[in-house]
A and B are shown apart, each in its own frame.
Chain A
Amino acid sequence: KAGVTQTPRYLIKTRGQQVTLSCSPISGHRSVSWYQQTPGQGLQFLFEYFSETQRNKGNFPGRFSGRQFSNSRSEMNVSTLELGDSALYLCASSFSSGIYNEQFFGPGTRLTVL
């Protein structure tokens, strides 16, 4: 069974640009969550999508957005990049939402903002 895949794996952008990251969940999983990992703030929840609907959202500015497609693949977008957006972005997939289910993490996208 293939795991969670994320593309691209590495990305370098400059301040002010925007970026789109992609996540393909494990086959059959309908929930995709996104997390940001930085040395200073640790792992922080961005948002979760389930059946194409955003179900939960963390405390991030509106520059961070996402969406989910009918095949459960998800994208997140960051507009007007800032230096502080440099981070490892991880997505996690699970079978369902609201009841017990284990989240499986992808390899991450390393974003560097110059």
Chain B
Amino acid sequence: ELKVEQNPLFLSMQEGKNYTIYCNYSTTSDRLYWYRQDPGKSLESLFVLLSNGAVKQEGRLMASLDTKARLSTLHITAAVHDLSATYFCAVEEYGNKLVFGAGTILRVKS
């Protein structure tokens, strides 16, 4: 059974600082997704990572995937308040079944 672990579960950052969220998973998969969720809202797709070594960047966020280590990272550069949200990684187990991590609550303080 595929398990997905995220850490940290809660992250309080100062504006302008950098930090990384980690996503480990237990069985082989080469499809990993990052989503953002604002309070009371649905999931917004951030990144789709499909192969080992994949790296994608959008604004202050950069995601990478190492399928051999079964690890993905979401790096935040020079955080701003607008990035405050909950971030989920999800691994595709089979078909369209996504197994989600517990989520990382990110709070950016000014």
List A residues at the B interface (Cβ < 8 Å).
31, 33, 35, 42-45, 48, 50, 55-56, 58, 90, 92, 94, 97-98, 100-108
Contact = CB atoms under 8 A, between A and B. Distances in A.
B42 A103 contact: no
A55 B94 CA distance: 10
Given A56-B95, A102-B48, A42 B42 contact: no
Nearest to A93: B96
Interface string B8-35: 0000000000000000000000010101
Interface of B: 31, 33, 35, 41-45, 48, 50, 88, 90, 94-103
Chain B's interface: helix, strand, loop or mixed, by majority? strand
B88 A43 contact: yes
Nearest to A42: B102
27 contacts: A33-B96, A42-B100, A42-B101, A42-B102, A42-B103, A43-B88, A43-B100, A45-B97, A45-B98, A48-B95, A48-B96, A50-B96, A56-B94, A56-B95, A56-B97, A90-B43, A97-B95, A98-B96, A100-B31, A100-B48, A100-B50, A103-B96, A105-B35, A105-B43, A107-B41, A107-B42, A108-B42
A58 B97 contact: yes
